[in-house]
Amino acid sequence: MGALRIVLPLTLMLAAPLALAADPLQIPALTMTSGANGQQEYSVNLQILLIMTALSFIPAFVMLMTSFTRIIIVFSILRQALGLQQTPSNQLLTGMALFLTMFIMAPVFDKVNQQALQPYLNEQLSAQDAVARAEGPIKDFMLAQTRQSDLELFMRLSKRTDIASADQAPLTILVPAFVTSELKTAFQIGFMIFIPFLIIDLVVASVLMAMGMMMLSPLIISLPFKIMLFVLVDGWALIIGTLAGSFGGV
């Protein structure tokens, strides 16, 4: 009886692949058809597999090909300038950055929807043509925010001599150049944000030293003044408005 309990599961395991192979309704792993112009169309099952695989690249796409990088860095620098370590929380800053990214990138996504997605859903474009058309608005956005020096740097590092203009730069060159420019711009904005709060810290530290309060941390005294200044000037509206305006009304 004990041997039967071991042999029966092994028999079922060995028979399962044979049963699947004999099933006439088995789904083919790959089906390709050639179009009239020589293009190859893949089966719907393979397209779904590719789409599910591409979903894993969505976080990288959001962070490296949209306005998210600049926004989240500025928000993080602002929190450090205020002297707040955990407020607002990382989750709140990320959520704010995501929705502000959706607001800034809405015109770009509308162009992608009109030029690529809708024609593809209406079977007016093939998958390859839809992807090529979708790259256009995204590349235009990144090129508008990328410094020429950064783009030339990565073109020189790639040793590509067949690229005549910036519009012909592939994503493998454009994306790192765009991220480099975004980091530089974000730190420039963060530097300007830091200056008024740094002045408050210096004034408070000087006053405490003049009063002989060496053991009292200046951060404890300056924090309420920095928060009050930030609220009085409507800081969140200024920061968000500056970030949205820094993309040139894309």
- Asked, for residue 131, whether it belongs to a domain, the answer is yes
Assigned domain for 1 exists: no
CA 224 to chain CA centroid, nearest Å = 34
Contact in structure between 229 and 195 (CB atoms under 8 Å): no
Task: Give the three-class secondary structure for 33.
Answer: strand
Q: Is residue 112 part of a domain?
A: yes
Q: How many structural domains does the chain have? A: 1
- Please give the model's pTM, rounded to 2 decimal places: 0.72
Residue 122 lies in a domain: yes
Predicted local distance difference test score (pLDDT) of residue 84: 81
How far, in Å, CA of 159 to CA of 27, rounded? 45
- Please report, as a single letter, which amino acid is at residue 176: P
121 in a structural domain: yes
Q: What is residue 15's predicted lDDT score, i.e. its pLDDT?
A: 41
pLDDT by position in tens, the chain (length 250): 444 344 334 343 444 444 444 444 444 545 555 655 655 555 555 666 667 776 777 777 777 788 898 999 999 999 888 888 778 888 899 899 989 989 988 888 888 888 888 887 787 877 777 878 888 888 888 888 888 888 888 888 888 777 777 777 788 888 889 999 999 999 999 999 989 888 888 888 888 888 877 777 777 888 888 888 888 988 888 888 888 888 875 5
pLDDT score recorded for residue 49: 67
Taking each helix axis as running N to C, give the angle between helix 68-82 and helix 171-210, from 0 to 180 degrees, rounded to the nearest 10: 10
Q: Is 47 inside a domain boundary?
A: no
One-letter amino acid at 106 equals A
Task: For residue 155, count other CB atoms closer than 10 A to its CB.
Answer: 17
Q: What is the pLDDT of residue 5?
A: 44
Q: Which domain holds residue 159?
A: 59-191+236-247
pLDDT at 224: 85
Amino acid occupying residue 144 = A
Whether 213 maps to a domain, the answer reads: no
* DSSP secondary structure string for all residues of 72-84: HHHHHHHHHHHT-
Tell me, yes or no, whether 67 lies in a domain.
yes
* Structure-token pair, residue 19: 């049963």
